[in-house]
């Protein structure tokens, strides 16, 4: 449905009024026209009624030129205003257009077509201006309420606009008497770079550069500022280099603390590695001597039972110490050698070697072992690591088999997008995952009361897998069994 045009016509000459009314009805047959003879009448109408357009004659008895135009514009409530006059005063026409009038028509030159065009163009131009003003207010509101500072800088470095927060970010006015930013307050380490960066950006339309610097905000007090310079000198609506800046002091302090912590951790890690190597090296020689002495002891030649018991305990402790030292050496080796050379390793070949190593345990138990390596027969990995992983998994399954049923072990491989997956499951006594999930791969973590359980097997498996970029997960239920899923990366890129 077409909108019915509502026009306010302010005209004190009856003849001119009738002609304009005739022209309006010729081009807009259903137009609603409200006629006012005086400026005062028009003011009252504008206070109570919203019009689509206002046709305003300057030659009114109670009108005084520009001031009357200003009054009408203020009361128009965003409606476009067209000035009607009998005088062709170009300067006055320009002045009124600059005040906000949409068009300026000489009465003697008006005809229905000119009037229709003027009304149509004025309404459309007014819509565009209102939209622009709305967007401008929105942008201004965003800038004024932003947590960032904004400034418009001319090519010579003079600041032509600065957002309110841009001023309060500093504890004082950052602009000097010439209208430039007070570059002397930029920390000397960053001053030349900041000035150079501005003029580099100013020379290249569309160029954007960012930098971080320290700016003085008080006596011996500096804050970190992150700035971005954007050259919009050739953009007519801006015609400046746009400076956006924000206070990043808190972030920089956190970064400094983070870097200091990383450095401290790296040093601590290096010290621990060095301590580990020194300890294992220094312990190896005396421990080897102790092992040799223990092997030479003949307990049958010791008549005193108390002495014999002490020597048995000494022998046991010596072997335990040797096992612990060997475990630590394995861990240190894995942690230190993450970039080992990789080869295509055959799952079946490694599994059969483990069967041979575990022959005595397997022959003494009722074990059903099922394997399926058909989907992924090989893996790019370290052969010794893979042998150790399978050996630990199989020995754990045998060690923690359920006494109420025969042990079943299933081993299978498959391909995923980035990984080759080894799935190892058994029907052993299982674990309570809610109780052990945070400690499952911890060093010397034991989850069952078995004297031959040292709590290092799963730690070694996890270390060997993750050292070469893999992943390991476990699912287990008490009295049902356990499943380990190991994902090996399919490329030599071992980084996560």
Q: Who wins on pLDDT, 128 or 418?
A: 418
The total number of residues written for the chain in this structure: 496
CATH of segment(s) 146-247: 3.30.450.20
Q: Please give the pLDDT value at position 235.
A: 85
pLDDT (mean) for 328-339: 61
Q: Please give the pLDDT value at position 92.
A: 74
Flag whether pLDDT at 331 surpasses 90.
no
pLDDT (mean) for 236-241: 85
Phi, psi of 218 (to 5 degrees): -175, 180
Q: Please give the pLDDT value at position 493.
A: 47
CATH of segment(s) 343-489: 3.30.565.10
- 38: alpha, beta or left? (left if phi > 0; alpha if psi -120 to 50): beta
Which stretches of 297-342 are DSSP H helices?
305-336
Q: Please give the pLDDT value at position 194.
A: 92
Phi, psi of 422 (to 5 degrees): -110, 120
* Percent of the residues in the chain that have a pLDDT greater than 70, as a whole number: 82
Beta strands 149-153 and 103-106 are: unpaired
The string of pLDDT tens digits covering residues 404-415 is 888 999 999 999
Domain ranges, ordered by start, for the chain = 6-143, 146-247, 255-336, 343-489
Q: Is 76 helix (H, G, I), strand (E, B) or coil?
A: coil
From CA 222, how far away is CA 18, in angstroms rounded?
A: 74
* Mean predicted lDDT score pLDDT of the chain: 81
* Percent of the residues in the chain that have a pLDDT greater than 90, as a whole number: 14
Flag whether pLDDT at 281 surpasses 90.
no
Write the class of the CATH domain 6-143.
alpha beta
The pair of structure tokens assigned to 83 is 């000035």
pLDDT (mean) for 25-39: 88
The answer to whether the pTM exceeds 0.75 is: no
The string of pLDDT tens digits covering residues 128-165 is 777 766 766 665 665 566 667 888 889 888 988 887 77
CB 437 within 8 A of CB 458: no
When pLDDT is cut at 50, 70 and 90, the band that residue 1 belongs to is very low
Q: Please give the pLDDT value at position 12.
A: 86
Examine domains 146-247 and 343-489 and report if their fold is the same: no
């Amino acid at each position: 449905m077409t909108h019915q045009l509502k026009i306010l016509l302010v005209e004190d000459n009856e003849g001119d009024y009738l002609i304009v009314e005739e022209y309006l009805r010729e081009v807009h047959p259903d137009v609603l026209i409200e006629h006012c003879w005086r400026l005062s009448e028009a003011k009252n109408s504008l206070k109570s009624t919203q019009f689509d357009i206002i046709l305003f004659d300057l030659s009114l008895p109670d009108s005084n030129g520009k001031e009357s135009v200003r009054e009408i514009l203020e009361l128009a409530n965003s409606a476009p205003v067209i000035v009607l006059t009998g005088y062709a005063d170009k300067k006055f026409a320009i002045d009124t257009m600059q005040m906000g009038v949409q068009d300026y028509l000489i009465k003697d030159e008006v005809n229905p077509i000119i009037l229709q065009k003027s009304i149509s163009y004025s309404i459309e131009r007014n819509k565009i201006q209102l939209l622009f003003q709305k967007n401008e207010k929105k942008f201004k509101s965003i800038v004024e309420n932003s947590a960032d500072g904004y400034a418009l800088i001319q090519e010579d470095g003079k600041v032509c606009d600065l957002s309110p927060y841009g001023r309060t970010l500093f504890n004082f006015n950052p602009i000097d008497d010439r209208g430039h930013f007070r570059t002397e307050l930029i920390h000397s380490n960053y001053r030349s770079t900041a000035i150079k960066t501005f003029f580099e950006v100013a020379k290249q339309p569309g160029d954007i550069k960012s930098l971080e610097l320290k700016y003085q905000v008080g006596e011996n007090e500096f804050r970190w500022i992150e700035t971005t310079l954007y050259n919009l000198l050739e953009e007519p609506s801006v015609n400046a280099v746009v400076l956006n800046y924000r206070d990043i002091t808190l972030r920089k302090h956190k970064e400094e603390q983070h870097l200091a912590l990383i450095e401290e951790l790296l040093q601590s890690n290096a010290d621990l590695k060095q301590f580990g190597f020194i300890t294992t090296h220094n312990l190896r020689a005396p421990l080897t001597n102790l092992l040799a002495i223990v092997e030479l002891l003949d307990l049958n030649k010791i008549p005193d039972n108390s002495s014999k018991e002490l020597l048995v305990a000494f022998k046991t402790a010596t072997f335990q110490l040797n096992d612990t030292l060997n475990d630590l050496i394995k861990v240190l080796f894995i942690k230190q050698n993450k970039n080992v050379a990789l080869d295509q390793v055959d799952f079946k070949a490694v599994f059969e070697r483990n069967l041979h190593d575990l022959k005595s345990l397997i022959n003494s138990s009722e074990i059903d072992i099922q394997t399926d390596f058909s989907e992924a027969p090989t893996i790019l990995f370290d052969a010794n690591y893979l042998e150790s992983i399978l050996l630990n998994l199989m020995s754990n399954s045998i060690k923690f088999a359920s006494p109420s049923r025969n042990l079943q072990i299933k081993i299978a491989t498959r391909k995923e997008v980035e990984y080759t997956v080894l799935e190892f499951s058994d029907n052993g006594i299982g674990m309570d995952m809610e109780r052990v999930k945070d400690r499952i791969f911890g060093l010397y973590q034991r989850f069952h009361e078995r004297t031959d359980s040292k709590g290092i097997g799963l730690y070694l498996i996890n270390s060997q897998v993750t050292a070469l970029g893999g992943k390991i997960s476990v699912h287990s239920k008490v009295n049902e069994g356990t499943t380990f899923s190991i994902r090996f990366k399919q490329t030599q890129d071992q980084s996560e």
